[in-house]
Chains A and B, each alone.
Chain A
Amino acid sequence: MKISLSRKSAIAIAAGALLLSGCSSSGDDSTSGAYAGPVGDTPGTINVLAWPGYAEDGSTDPAVDWVTPFETETGCTVNVKTYGTSDEAVQLMQSGGYDVVSASGDASLRLIFGEDLQPVNLDLIPNYVDVFDNLKDRPWNTIEGVNYGVPHGRGANVLQYTISKVKPAPDSWSVVWEPNSPLKGKITAYDSAIYIADAAVYLMSTKPELGITDPYALDSTQFEAAMELLKQQKPLVAEYWGDYTKYVAAVQAGSIVAGTSWQVIANVLNGEKATVGAVKPKEGATGWSDTWMISKNTESIDCAYKWLNWIVSPATNAQAAEYFGEAPANSKACALTASKTHCESYHADETEYWSDVYYWKTPTEACLDGRTDVKCIPYAEWVKAWSSFRNS
């Protein structure tokens, strides 16, 4: 697979590097472009684009709903649309019609630089002060001091397995990668180019000679190795998943017994009785840290700000984090979760747990691990390689 580096992409690298190193982009500085406020009581409708489990409105489970209380309290109407991959999120935001989005780190920068979002004036969000310090002002949602949203929570992509069919309980990703896996033909993998990073994470442990330190900073040799691993995995895979409801149905039907997953999927499957387990294997895992962001062209700015304040409030953040199964963003949420050990089990305030969780981010030609002697593969090439791989 040839990766050509024309003069034009060299310019793009330089431009990308400049942007990422934080040079001011459009002549605006500090909070210009952000809503000055104050947040009024204009009723309106907001279309919310969210990861499944983030903005539950009772349609998945009538008892799980923190959208309707918001609507009752503020008079705003909320339409929730869930998506399956960050790529979907970027495309939907770009096609317009959505006011608020919960974006992972691999989508947020693309949206910011694609000028689909507006900066967020954090003074208008009273609940923001209680957010964990190590989630504030992160490079995937804050550019040159300009904030673009409020954090939601963070988590790892876990290895999920059907308890009755996978014994003993696995502690390594080898069950989904090794050709002699006993679960051949019943594995699943995530259907997005970002999954190449998961292959890289496995290679970090099994092929340290490749020298991968950041699974999103892959030069051509490292990238080829990751693609080889994926090709090796393909015969083991029953289906690639991008729709979590289809994943749930397949596990219940027994056609999938193990694979990468989100805690919320395991929670849904274990709803009536424990059927699956979920672990972060010893090799580490990819993960995500999400931010609620506001579209540039929203017509209901007041409702958008109210939603951001609501979703990061201790009570709602606790509900959402517990339902989904992730570490909350608001430090006061820990006292409000139904299970008193929730924040502990999800390592909300730890740093060690997250040391081998590699949050989703968008790979660029300028290596994200700081190497300057090689060029890394940008995400557009990841997408091409993934498309070619899926269709071969």
Chain B
Amino acid sequence: MSLIESTQRYFHAHVRARIAVLLSAPVAWLGVLYIGSLAALFITSIWKIDTFTSKVVREFTLSNFIDVLTDKAYFNVTVRTVGVAIAVTIICAIIAIPMAFFIARVAKPQSRPVLIALVITPLWASYLVKIYAWRTMMAPDSGFLNWLISPLGLSSPGFGMVAVIIGLSYLWLPYMVLPIYAGMEKLPDSIIDASADLGAKPGRTFLKVILPLTWPAIIAGSLFTFSLSLGDYITVQILGGTFQMLGNVVYQNFALNLPFAAAVALIPVIVMIIYLASVRKTGALDNL
């Protein structure tokens, strides 16, 4: 019996060995490198820095956490950041659900790949260029938006929180449309027909049958929009004026106060872990 055959037999008999072989490389990569570097980062949050050279000094201190928790500014910026992330998620959902439904159920089957391609194509346009396009659009006096709505007596909101919410909703919309479309496409026709047969009008079918069934997919989409908004700092720098979010706090302090930046970085991580844990039950994680 050749070496290959005996190896095959071994693996056939030992399930655990098969799993181990399959998983060893990926888990080593993600477990050691990724989780390890996250751990290394969060450990620095209990250290301090030399006040003159800004280098990390490995002495235990809780001052970073105390500063984050007691300074009202950081509480405010956390609330604002979570608020923006929620607003972006809701706006994306409001636009994405009808679009996904249209593509999955109303459009002709041949046109579906084309429509989805149209929705996904912007993902390939550079993130920076898209945000810069919004910057020129929202410029207070000379922008496109101003030019468009000034006949109505309105003017562009300029750079600030509103511009950031619009910009982020724009960026993450495809990430919301895709999973919802996938979820709606999977719905068997029979269930929808059954609902109609039982006398429900389309609106009721939508609210009572389709929406609950695609809820995991909607949550899956929201994971993207929420997490991507929570940590964003570039859009905020370009569209935000003097408005700041958590990502900016981390970015500003990373250079000279890594322990403090690490402590602040824990906030979005904790928020996301809570969010992930609470949506695990909905099965959303299988819909990514």
Contact = CB atoms under 8 A, between A and B. Distances in A.
B74 A378 contact: no
Interface stretch (A88-96, A138-146, A149-157): A88-96
B158 interface: yes
Interface residues of B, number: 35
Contact of B76 (A113, A238, A392): A392
Nearest to A112: B53
Nearest to A114: B53
B140 A114 contact: no
Nearest to A237: B242
Nearest to A235: B242
Given A253-B139, A389-B73, A91 B252 contact: no
A392 B72 contact: yes
A389 B252 CA distance: 12
User: In this complex, which of A9, A94, A380 has the most chain B Cβ atoms within 10 angstroms of its Cβ?
Assistant: A380
A380 B76 contact: no
23 contacts: A12-B52, A87-B255, A90-B255, A94-B55, A109-B52, A110-B54, A113-B52, A113-B53, A237-B242, A238-B159, A239-B242, A246-B238, A253-B143, A254-B141, A365-B51, A379-B51, A380-B52, A381-B51, A383-B256, A383-B257, A390-B244, A391-B74, A391-B76
B180 to A, nearest CB: 34
Contacts of A384: 67, 257, 260
A82 interface: no
Contacts of A113: 52-53
Q: 3 shortest A-B CB distances, which residue pairs?
A: A91-B255, A114-B53, A392-B73
B158 A255 contact: yes
A52 interface: no
A390 B255 contact: no
A219 to B, nearest CB: 16
User: In this complex, which of B49, B55, B72 has the most chain A Cβ atoms within 10 angstroms of its Cβ?
Assistant: B55
Contacts of B139: 253-255
Interface string B229-271: 0000000001001101000110011111100100000000000
A157 B12 CA distance: 74
Contacts of B182: none
B255 A238 contact: no
A390 B251 CA distance: 13
Interface of A: 9, 12, 16, 87-88, 90-91, 94, 109-110, 113-114, 234, 237-240, 246, 253-255, 362, 364-365, 378-381, 383-384, 387-392
Interface in B201-227: none
Contacts, number: 93
Given A253-B139, A254-B140, A387-B249, A239 B159 contact: yes
Given A238-B242, A255-B141, A380 B51 contact: yes
B189 interface: no
Interface of B: 49-55, 67, 71-74, 76-77, 136, 139-143, 158-159, 238, 241-242, 244, 248-249, 252-257, 260
A282 B262 CA distance: 42
A383 B242 CA distance: 17
B51 A12 contact: yes
Contacts of B242: 234, 237-240, 390
